[in-house]
Amino acid sequence: MSWERKVERVASRAQADRPPKVDVARSVLLALTAGRAERLTVAERIWMWLAAISSAIAVPAATVAVMLYTKSAGPLSEIVEAISWATK
């Protein structure tokens, strides 16, 4: 029997083989909830508040940036269009 035929037989057996059904969700959840919750340190609280404040500032800043871009993009696109027609 050639090695190609052997590989085909092994591949067909491997495709027919099914993995065992295992449910680990319960054991994982028990392991995760077994420990006591640790209190946040002062440094972690500072980073948490810094992230919250920067997110609260970033959303309005992005909104203003998009509004300014849409207002300024109109005249700029007209200039670019006029220049592109002049070169043709």
Average pLDDT of adjacent 10-residue blocks, the chain of 88 residues = 88 86 87 84 96 97 93 78 68
In the chain, how many domains are there? 1
Contact 48, 40 (CB under 8 A): yes
pLDDT the model gives residue 86: 61
pLDDT of residue 87: 58
For the chain, the farthest-separated pair of C-alpha atoms sits apart, in whole angstroms, at 76
Percent of the chain clearing pLDDT 90 (strictly above): 36
Query: In the prediction, which pLDDT does 58 show?
Result: 97
Domain that holds residue 10: 3-87
| Residue 31 to residue 12: CA distance in whole angstroms | 38
Give residue 30's identity as a one-letter amino acid code: L
What is the Cα–Cα distance from 59 to 63, expressed in whole angstroms? 6
Classified as helix, coil or strand, 29 is: helix
